[in-house]
Amino acid sequence: MITVADVMTRQPATLPRDATVAQAAQLMDELNVGAVPVCDEHDHVLGIVTDRDITVRAIAAGLSPAGTPVEQVMSERVRCCSERQPVDDVLALMAAVQIRRLPVLDEAQRLVGMLSLGDLAVRDQEAAVGVLRRISTPSQPDRSGYAAH
């Protein structure tokens, strides 16, 4: 059985809640990623800021990227997975809620990695393509309060 720990990206970059939107965008550009977890000093996930959050919640709203903390635009209710979960279970979750990446937590609920469709494609292209098809199918917006990223 392949677990999330077998395929995740370890030690992902994070941001503190008081980092600015501009700093988040710069970090995403440096790392070529579309989402960065926002964590407290104990690596507990407080939220996640995505390129879409920056575009829709900050720029489109006229907020100053240099003066707006990510805490103001981040998605707060974030779906996460456990490093011990079977990849197949997480693939099903990602397809069901149409998300492309998940923060990975350890038993103490601390961030230890990120899991993306890219990570999964390296292991099993066919499974990743199937999930991507389901994620890309138009659906009603998720208004449950969880981040869709």
Residues 84-139: pLDDT tens digits? 999 889 988 888 888 889 999 999 999 999 998 877 776 655 554 555 555 555 55
DSSP string computed for 74-121: SB-B---EETTSBHHHHHHHHHHHT-SEEEEE-TTS-EEEEEEHHHHH
Q: What is the pLDDT of residue 96?
A: 87
Question: What is residue 144's predicted lDDT score, i.e. its pLDDT?
Answer: 53
Mean predicted confidence (pLDDT) in 61-74: 96
Average pLDDT over residues 50-70: 95
- Domain extents for the chain? 4-136
The whole-number pLDDT of residue 92 equals 86
Q: Which fold has domain 4-136?
A: CBS-domain (3.10.580)
Q: In a 3-state reduction of DSSP, which class is residue 40?
A: coil
Note the pTM of the prediction, 2 decimals.
0.81
> Could you read off the pLDDT of 22-57 as tens digits, one per residue?
999 999 999 999 999 999 999 999 999 999 999 999
Average pLDDT over residues 66-80: 96
* Long-range contacts, 61-65 (Cβ 8 Å, 24+): 63/21, 64/21, 65/20, 65/21, 65/22, 65/25
User: How far apart (Å, rounded) are the C-alpha atoms in residues 58 and 109?
Assistant: 29
Note the pLDDT of residue 70. Answer: 98
Q: What is the pLDDT of residue 124?
A: 55
Give the pLDDT score at 128. 47
